[in-house]
């Protein structure tokens, strides 16, 4: 060591290792956005907003895009309960990228999981699985329920969603899960 000069933590091999670590981490995050996988991160909260009751779904929507060269992906119509009475909707997780840019949108991704309907005392009355598009439908008798999503892993985290099913109708309850990406 040269006299009069103190060695600092960011001199030499340690500094190179930290820089390499930062580059690898950034690359992994970008790769997870590019291939549509959901990464890990710190816990957050999700939100679910039951939409107005409807017995007939609206026309299929498309994923918004700002780049004319990207073809929008059509969203299939929601599933409906076979009996006509119950709950239905989509389960999706976001954010899917740490940063979203106008030319590279990162829309929420569908979530495959088990959706369970529980009564106010916690009794399970119906269970189903969301499909590859995140759609689900549950046949339920009129009453008040809590929908619980189990994805089989820590992330995404999906909030418990209260729904009230009225006689002769189906209520749409889309569930927004949190990926933990910040």
β-strand partners of 94 = 178
Residue 31 lies inside a defined structural domain of this protein: no
Residue 21 included in any domain = no
Contacts with 158 (C-beta within 8 Å, 6 or more apart), sequence order: 46, 48, 91, 93, 111, 113, 148, 149, 151, 175, 176, 177, 178
Q: How many Cα atoms within 13 Å fall on the side-chain side of residue 71?
A: 2
pLDDT score for 77: 84
Give the pLDDT means over successive 10-residue stretches in the chain (182 positions). Answer: 52 45 41 42 36 39 39 70 93 91 89 97 97 96 97 95 96 95 82
| H or E element, residue 89 | strand 86-94
State the pLDDT at residue 74.
Answer: 63
Our count of domains for the chain comes to: 1
**pTM over cut 0.75:** no
How many Å apart are CA 88 and CA 139, to the nearest integer? 9
Residue 130 lies in a domain: yes
Exposure b/e, 132-158, CB count within 10 A at least 16 = b:
ebbbbbbbbeeeebebbbebeeebbbb
Instruction: Specify the pLDDT at position 50.
Output: 42
- The reply to whether 97 falls in a domain is yes
Query: Would you state the pLDDT for residue 58?
Result: 39
The pLDDT value recorded for residue 31 is 43
Q: What CATH number is attached to the domain comprising 116?
A: 2.60.40.10
**Domain encompassing residue 93:** 47-178
33 belongs to a structural domain: no
15 part of a folded domain: no
- Residue 10, domain member (yes or no): no
Cβ-proximal residues to 107 (8 Å cutoff; 6+ apart), any chain: 63, 64, 94, 96
Q: Look up residue 150 and give its DSSP letter.
A: E
In a domain, residue 108? The reply is yes
d(CA 149, CA 160): 7
pLDDT at 15: 45
- Rounded Cα gap, residues 177 and 91, in angstroms: 7
């Amino acid at each position: 060591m040269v006299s009069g000069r103190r060695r600092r933590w960011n001199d030499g091999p340690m500094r190179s290792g930290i820089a390499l670590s930062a580059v690898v981490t950034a690359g992994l995050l970008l790769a997870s956005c590019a291939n549509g996988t959901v990464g890990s991160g710190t816990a957050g909260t999700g939100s679910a907003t039951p939409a107005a009751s409807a017995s007939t779904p609206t026309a299929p929507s498309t994923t918004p895009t700002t780049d004319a060269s990207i073809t929008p992906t059509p969203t299939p119509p929601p599933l409906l309960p076979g009996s006509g009475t119950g709950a239905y909707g989509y389960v999706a997780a976001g954010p899917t990228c740490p940063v979203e840019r106008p030319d590279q949108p990162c829309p929420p991704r569908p979530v495959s999981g088990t959706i369970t309907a529980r009564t106010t005392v916690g009794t399970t009355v119906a269970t189903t699985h969301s499909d590859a598009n995140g759609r689900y439908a549950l046949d339920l008798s009129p009453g008040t329920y809590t929908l619980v999503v189990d994805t089989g892993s820590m992330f995404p985290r999906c909030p418990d969603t209260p729904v009230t099913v009225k006689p002769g109708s189906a209520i749409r309850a889309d569930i927004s899960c949190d990926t933990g990406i910040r």
